[in-house]
Amino acid sequence: MELAERTKRIDSSGIRKVFALAANMTDPVNLSIGQPHFDVPESIKEVAIQAIRDGRNSYTLTAGIPELRERLLERYRQRRIEAEDVIITSGASGGILLCFLALLNEGDEIIIPDPYFVMYKHLANFIGAKPVYVDTYPDFQLDPVKIEAAITPRTKMILLNSPNNPTGVVYTEAVLRGVMEVAAKHGLTILTDEIYDCFLYDSKPISIAEWYPNTIVLSGFSKSAAMTGWRVGYALAPKAVVAAMANIQMYSFVCAPSFAQWAALAVLDEDTSANEDDYRRKRDLIYGGIKDRYEVTKPGGAFYIFPKAPSDDGDSFVQEAIGNNLLVVPGSVFSERKTHFRISFAAEDREIGRGIEILNRLAG
């Protein structure tokens, strides 16, 4: 059986390869997993269970239950983001795919700051769009001048991710306003992935959508409420974009899981600030533990840190780390470079402490 050509444009995730290695290791120090280490709050579990018992188990409207959509629009209005419409998606990842399919034609170019979340590159390639990478090393902040230099007549979209996976860097207001001016000058759409803005350690949430209406905001509940397996994300966008995404969802995902949408509605009333405080402390723990032995930028959000490998070869370093019972992810999974590696500090303090000890030993 011959596979479609498009399947050759994507590769299995390097992160999943690390997950697979963990299954064959004895008590590994696992600082590779990109999901919260805490569980879904008990109160939210009860809402989900009650929704199932109440028979809320069938298809919902393709764009999601109206109650959740209205609450999300209102929440973002309070942040001065006047989105025209919102669609509930099968995770934020499902939202990325729907957005790409709705807006990008084959051959269109999408500007992606490097390092980047692994899915952006592969999904763009999969649908025949062309990722154009803009290097952000060494401090991982965007440079609007570099963004503009990457624009061609085929450019359709600029993709932002702040707080960033894998670096944890948060883009400043000055940078975002500079990118907005570039996008407005060239009539470009901005897609901003804000799934990690529930974990901000030194600043308040800020979005380019506050000033630039030609923006699609992606987020979800996987990180804030640890609902990674429940698959509830959302996209705020102009009505025409939401309508196009809904049409595609109708013939693919159909809708996000019904019981999980009702649980997500309850999450909006949940106080998750304790988790943010806990991860701020963990950020300080890992950064303080390795900063004297590694070249590393202090993350301002998310739960990742992205040090430079001592040998400038993140791939080889990760193999060495695995040989010392430490699981981290090579930077080449997230970048056109291979000089760095990603650590997730979404782990118990004991695991972070063990990881720091191994990392400092490997630093030589």
> Per residue in 273-307, pLDDT tens?
999 999 999 999 999 999 999 999 999 999 999 99
Residue 347 corresponds to which tokens in the numbers above? 């782990």
- pLDDT over threshold 90, residue 21: no
User: Do 277 and 261 sit in the same domain of this protein?
Assistant: no
User: Do 232 and 328 sit in the same domain of this protein?
Assistant: no
Confidence tier at 18 by pLDDT (50, 70, 90): low
Residue 285 is predicted with a pLDDT of 98
- Strand arrangement of the beta sheet that strand 329-330 belongs to: 304-305, 341-344, 329-330
Amino acid identity of 214? N
Find the mean pLDDT for residues 319-347.
Answer: 96
The answer to which of 26-40, 113-127, 242-256, 283-297 has the lowest mean pLDDT is 26-40
Of 236, 267, 298, the last residue of a domain is 267
Spatial separation of the C-alpha atoms in residues 40 and 42, rounded to whole Å: 6
The answer to which of 5-19, 47-61, 135-149 has the lowest mean pLDDT is 5-19
Residue 247 lies in a domain: yes
User: Do 224 and 339 sit in the same domain of this protein?
Assistant: no
pLDDT tens track for 163-176? 999 999 999 999 99
- pLDDT over threshold 90, residue 187: yes
As for how many domains the chain has, the answer is 2
* CATH value at residue 134: 3.40.640.10
Spatial separation of the C-alpha atoms in residues 308 and 199, rounded to whole Å: 23
User: Do 140 and 279 sit in the same domain of this protein?
Assistant: no
User: Do 118 and 146 sit in the same domain of this protein?
Assistant: yes
Residue 183 is predicted with a pLDDT of 98
Instruction: Return the sign of the alpha-carbon dihedral for residues 195, 198, 203, 207.
Output: positive
Spatial separation of the C-alpha atoms in residues 91 and 234, rounded to whole Å: 7
Which domain range does residue 36 map to? Answer: 5-40+272-362
Omega before 36 cis (within 30°)?
no
- pLDDT over threshold 90, residue 7: no
Residue 12 is predicted with a pLDDT of 66
Find the mean pLDDT for residues 329-354.
Answer: 97
User: Do 226 and 201 sit in the same domain of this protein?
Assistant: yes
Find the mean pLDDT for residues 232-237.
Answer: 98
Residue 45 lies in a domain: no
Spatial separation of the C-alpha atoms in residues 196 and 219, rounded to whole Å: 8
Residue 52 lies in a domain: no
Confidence tier at 2 by pLDDT (50, 70, 90): confident
Residue 161 is predicted with a pLDDT of 98
* CATH value at residue 324: 3.90.1150.10
User: Do 217 and 313 sit in the same domain of this protein?
Assistant: no
Mean pLDDT, all residues of the chain: 95
Instruction: Answer for the pair 325, 25: CB distance below 8 angstroms, yes or no.
Output: yes
User: Do 247 and 195 sit in the same domain of this protein?
Assistant: yes
User: Do 320 and 349 sit in the same domain of this protein?
Assistant: yes
Residue 46 lies in a domain: no
Residue 50 lies in a domain: no
User: Do 313 and 169 sit in the same domain of this protein?
Assistant: no
Residue 129 lies in a domain: yes
Residue 206 sits at φ, ψ, to 5 deg, of -140, 140
Strand intervals (E) in the chain: 29-30, 85-89, 109-114, 130-135, 155-161, 189-193, 215-220, 233-237, 304-305, 326-327, 329-330, 341-344
DSSP-derived secondary structure for 130-196: EEEEEE-TTT----HHHHHHT--TTEEEEEEESS-TTT-----HHHHHHHHHHHHHHT-EEEEE-TT
Of 214, 233, 267, the last residue of a domain is 267
Amino acid identity of 356? I
Residue 189 lies in a domain: yes
Q: Helix (H) and strand (E) counts for the chain?
A: 12, 12
pLDDT tens track for 63-98? 999 999 999 999 999 999 999 999 999 999 999 999
Residue 25 is predicted with a pLDDT of 74
Of 267, 296, 330, the last residue of a domain is 267
Residue 152 is predicted with a pLDDT of 98
pTM: 0.95
- Give percent of the chain above pLDDT 70: 97
Residue from 300, 232, 296, 220 nearest 260 by CA: 232
Find the mean pLDDT for residues 199-212.
Answer: 96
User: Do 128 and 228 sit in the same domain of this protein?
Assistant: yes
User: Do 220 and 255 sit in the same domain of this protein?
Assistant: yes
Residue 49 lies in a domain: no
Scanning the structure block, which residue is given the tokens 């419409």? 85
